[in-house]
Structure 1
Amino acid sequence: MIYYILQPFSDQAIVIARFIKENSSKRVVGVLLLDEKKGKSDEVYDDIITVRTYDEINDLGVIVPTGAPSTEALLRKGDVQLGKIKMKKESLGVFDKVNFLNHCRQVSLPIPLMLEFNELKSSSFPLFYKEKNEKGGGLRGKANRFSDVENLPHENLIFQELIDSKGTYGVAFLAKNGRILTSFSHFEEESYPRTGGSATIIKKIEDSRLDQLTQKFVETYKYDGWGLAEYKYCHKRQDFVFMEVNAKFWASCLFTFKNNPEFLDMLFDISIEKEDINTMIYINRLLKTGLLNTLKVLYSYKGAKKIILKPFIKTIILGVFIDLKLVKL
């Protein structure tokens, strides 16, 4: 059997490819579209192929979409099966953030206050904005004044009340027939980029309220597949606020898989020993905040698990350049 890994140089793709290579005899092939660049971690793949469309892939293998674009592309053609878990085409609905938020409102799940662009006034700020349709990262950020958003493509954006609390909470899950089969919760204490980025410092947590909210979404949406539900804690409400569900593999899935191997078993028929990891540091991402900050964080979290996903000599040099203000990210 061959596993075809789409968007093969994303962090989550490299993690998945390594688990398959290290725990099975299956061939692992990275698949690039013509407009995608080859990355620096091709040693994890038996081969790298380039295609014009994903239709060109041999359908006798298992196709693994990893990021938002590849997952959306496959779902538009139908359901996506990985091991015992099927992500149904209906999961496409969460890529539309307006549709997702409207569903949450209808079933009384807590969400930030929505704002229309033509209704914005000085008292609306600060606020948070992001793209209406999931593209993986994309345009998002905090706006402190109208001039921060007036030249943005506002017709493609959602404007929301700013939930100005530290970090982001996540519940990774596998679901079938509107029921969660297994899950794992974490707290992204810091991320890069700071707004809507991937975790640099991530911690294991347990919280029954997060479990309750995620189960309610899965049940009412009749969600099938894998995903990551994301929340911010609102001090004003004294409750978690639902931000989004990502119907794709998440950049910090290594932390999930190590702590809860049921994900690997159900998705890829891989059996590994559980590791009880409380905190994980992603060094490659952290270096993008500067070398000095990276050293400070590593000193503060001496007991944390340190992860290097990609060759990082170039990233270390970038960290130095950031500290010297020779590069701005």
Structure 2
Amino acid sequence: MMAALPEVRGRLTPDRPLADLTWLRVGGPADWLFQPADREDLAAFLRDLDPSVPVFPMGVGSNLIVRDGGVRGVVIRLGRGFNGIEIAADGTITAGAAALDAHVARKAAAAGRDLTFLRTIPGAIGGAVRMNAGCYGAYVADALREVTVIHRDGREEVLPASALELAYRSSHLPEGAVIVEAVFDAPKGEPEALEARMAEQIERRDASQPTKDRTAGSTFRNPAGLSSTGRADDSHELKAWKVIEDAGLRGARLGGAVMNDKHPNFLTNSGDATAAELEGLGERVRKRVYDHSGLTLEWEIMRIGDPAA
């Protein structure tokens, strides 16, 4: 039995289903879902929580499979109180971890600051930092100055970007730390030109990706990825979608799970998929690609929780 949980000012919900909080709409319940009121509420909760109770910070569920058996422990989901966006006179952009990537890009552009790469990235800033998100040749690593985290013991700390060791779709955060805020140094740009660039990016994305379907973004990392600095490595050109297609897996299905016909690196819930079917199809794709090309695809989608009993 789980230890008694600390009192909170935010919302603490037992046995909370998580499927409706993820873009793929699958998964079982969390033992507890905690939505803190503010930083102080989060810090006190983490400080007073039994250290044996697992904690998982969850964003907007855009890059996540929650397994059918649900999540043991406490899932923390930041919302109001963590979604502010501020732009200083010097152009420095401070964004709460729950601020949507697209909103940050738009507000920065209006102020003449270029974070346009964030416009087409689904999700929120906390997840973008954690995964060093990027597209169109730009990445969080290019612009991030520092992050504020709250540790499992309730301590708040500001970490420089260099401490995160940002690399291709990855970072190294202290164990149990929850990102609450990020600060960016963005280059200058003309607002009109930045808006036009974002509109072009949206058009390109919609033409090539299944934006109307239930997906969690790219399923697998590109085999080459980025250099150790987190920036593009132009010496490699392999793309995950291409090796999946070459293995004959565009449109592959398992139950309600499908590798999307429009873009084969988008694992899709066609309507009634289970988490087990989605993850199972992904593993089937990994095996087939390896058998076909000798390449090992690495998951970009995070998978958490227990399988169904």
TM-score (norm 2): 0.28
Higher relative CO (CA 8 A, sep ≥ 6), structure 1 or 2?
Answer: 2
Give the structure with the higher percent helix: 1
TM-score (norm 1): 0.27
Give the structure with the higher percent strand: 1
